[in-house]
């Protein structure tokens, strides 16, 4: 199947073609025609397979069918994301694919000044991409009207629920027209997502292109058992001996990310940490340095597990396993994207054996275990409880800022993620640059 077979307009096909792609991914091939029909959709696919383009392209086409009257531009499509980074990437996807359409879009999130966003909204916006906290800030200041929204998209809906956004989401839903089209896209489905879908969607079309909660086949997975106090030593060995040039490493806590980045620097490896306590500028710089190769190792909390899109990222390391099995899927989904090969390595101490079993139960498959010479765990060490395993999901941090926004990503309830900008997940890609990976 080609993009030309999906019923997209010439303007959209031109924008997609200019990116060098002709073939949609499986989720795009199924979702785009369904969204174009105006149906509600509950869609799931492995991360990195093009979910964003799967809703962005048909959304643009549906809205462009009707031109705004007398220059008035109410918000007609609303896309909610859990993080700043994801919001920025969706916004770039909208801009990339809609470049030949007379549409206006905007991205709003916390952690930055609210006044420039107010100025943009006053000019009129057709498509708004937002994080829930900052969106409600604008509603509270009466700088935003959602009464004419025709299409609502919840991107990474499970993550928003997991990060404590459900109350904000309900507030937003109460502001929207009843007769809208609803699209839920995510890489994992939980029971909570199913319940939300039942109350939100109208006879939705369920689209799944792979078994639920699975990882991409292009990702090779491996686990090394190692004592907790030797993890850093083993990580440095793996990076050095394997000559790994670009490595994304996940820790459970912000303090742990800072400490590991500092220790790797002492080992002679250029490293930076990225998490919710970092300023917006520091996060952006760290990610940019990592992408251009100035930083070899990026150490992150789970704030980076969704939306981080780095072309052909070869290595992801779970320095500490996540307490939530689904987070493992999203973490390692930063590699092996759009058909590229990737490697996911987990360093597992005795405290984390149960976490590994939970992950394997979710995946319905075992993660291969490989011993490393010289790092055999000490059998006399007993497992201890893991502290702060889900410390402030996503590392949002911060309370209400005096600028009228949400500091550190908008923590209205104390457990919301820091949402930061990043590279465009919406651009299309693939091993042969023939598939949109959105």
Q: Are 69 and 126 in contact (CB under 8 A)?
A: no
pLDDT attached to residue 402: 30
Q: Are 90 and 129 in contact (CB under 8 A)?
A: yes
Enumerate residues 6+ apart whose C-beta is below 8 A from 197: 42, 184, 204
Residue 46 pairs with which residues in a beta bridge?
none
Q: Comparing 94-98, 112-116, 330-334, which segment has the lowest mean pLDDT? A: 330-334
pLDDT attached to residue 424: 35
Q: Return the percentage of the chain with pLDDT > 70, whole number.
A: 80
Mean pLDDT of the chain, nearest integer: 82
Q: What angle do CA 428, 433, 434 make, to 5 degrees?
A: 85
pLDDT attached to residue 388: 52
* Dihedral sign for Cα atoms in the order 211, 215, 216, 220: negative
pLDDT band at 111 (very low <50, low <70, confident <90, very high): confident
Mean pLDDT for the stretch of residues 111-115: 89
Mean pLDDT for the stretch of residues 53-77: 87
Mean pLDDT for the stretch of residues 136-149: 95
Global pTM reads: 0.67
Q: Rounded to whole angstroms, how far apart are CA atoms 223 and 221?
A: 7
Q: State how far the alpha carbon of 48 is from the alpha carbons of 25, 98, 165, 225, in Å.
A: 10, 21, 23, 28
Q: State how far the alpha carbon of 66 is from the alpha carbons of 9, 101, 255, in Å.
A: 13, 11, 50
Whether the per-residue pLDDT at 432 is higher than 90: the answer is: no
> pLDDT for 172-228, tens place per residue?
999 999 999 999 987 667 777 777 788 888 888 988 875 555 556 678 899 999 999
pLDDT attached to residue 195: 78
Mean pLDDT for the stretch of residues 270-282: 84
Mean pLDDT for the stretch of residues 286-301: 91
pLDDT attached to residue 398: 31
What is the CATH architecture of 219-398? 3-Layer(aba) Sandwich (3.40)
* Dihedral sign for Cα atoms in the order 11, 16, 20, 21: negative
Given CATH 3.40.50.300, say whether it is the number of domain 3-208: yes
Mean pLDDT for the stretch of residues 24-33: 92
Domain with CATH 3.40.50.300 in the chain: 3-208, 219-398
Q: Comparing 73-77, 121-125, 162-166, 312-316, which segment has the lowest mean pLDDT? A: 162-166
Three-class DSSP category at 94: helix
Q: Looking at per-residue confidence, does 390 or 338 come out higher? A: 338
Residue 185 pairs with which residues in a beta bridge?
43, 155
Q: Rounded to whole angstroms, how far apart are CA atoms 151 and 357?
A: 40
């Amino acid at each position: 199947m080609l993009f030309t077979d999906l019923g997209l307009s010439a303007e959209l096909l031109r924008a997609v073609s200019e990116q060098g792609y002709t073939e949609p991914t499986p989720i795009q091939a199924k979702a785009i025609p369904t969204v174009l029909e105006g149906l509600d959709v509950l869609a799931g696919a492995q991360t990195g397979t093009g979910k964003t383009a799967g809703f962005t392209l048909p959304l643009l086409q549906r809205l462009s069918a009707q031109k705004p009257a007398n220059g008035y531009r109410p918000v007609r499509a609303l896309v909610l994301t859990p993080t700043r980074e994801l919001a920025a990437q969706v916004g770039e996807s909208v801009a990339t694919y809609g470049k030949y359409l007379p549409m206006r879009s905007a991205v709003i999130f916390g952690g930055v000044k609210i006044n420039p966003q107010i100025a943009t909204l006053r000019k009129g916006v057709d498509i708004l991409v937002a994080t829930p906290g900052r969106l409600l800030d604008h509603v509270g200041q009466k700088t935003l009207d959602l009464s004419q929204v025709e299409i609502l998209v919840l991107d990474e809906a499970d993550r928003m629920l997991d990060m404590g956004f459900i109350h904000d989401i309900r507030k937003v839903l109460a502001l929207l027209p009843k007769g809208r089209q609803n699209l839920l896209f995510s890489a994992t489905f939980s029971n909570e997502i199913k319940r939300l879908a039942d109350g939100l969607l109208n006879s939705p079309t369920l689209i799944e292109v792979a078994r639920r909660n699975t990882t991409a086949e292009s990702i090779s997975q491996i686990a090394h058992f190692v004592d907790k106090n030797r993890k850093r030593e083993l990580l440095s060995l793996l990076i050095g001996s394997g000559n790994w040039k670009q490595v994304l490493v996940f820790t459970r806590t912000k303090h742990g990310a800072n400490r590991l980045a500092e220790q790797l620097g002492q080992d002679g490896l250029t490293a930076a940490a990225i998490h919710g306590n970092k300023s917006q500028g520091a996060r952006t710089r760290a990610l940019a340095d990592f992408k251009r190769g100035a930083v070899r190792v990026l150490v992150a909390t789970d704030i980076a597990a969704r939306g981080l899109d780095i072309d052909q990222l070869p290595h992801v390391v779970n320095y500490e396993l996540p307490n939530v099995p689904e987070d493992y899927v999203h973490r390692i989904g930063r590699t092996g994207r759009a058909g590229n090969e990737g490697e996911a390595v987990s360093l597992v101490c005795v405290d984390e054996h149960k976490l590994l079993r939970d992950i394997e139960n979710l995946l319905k498959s075992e993660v291969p275990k490989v011993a490393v010479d010289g790092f055999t765990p000490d059998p006399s060490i007993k497992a201890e409880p893991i502290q702060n395993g889900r410390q402030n999901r996503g590392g949002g941090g911060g309370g209400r800022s005096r600028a009228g926004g949400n500091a550190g990503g908008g923590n209205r309830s104390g457990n919301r993620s820091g949402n930061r900008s990043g590279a465009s997940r919406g651009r299309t890609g693939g091993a042969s640059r023939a598939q949109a990976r959105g």
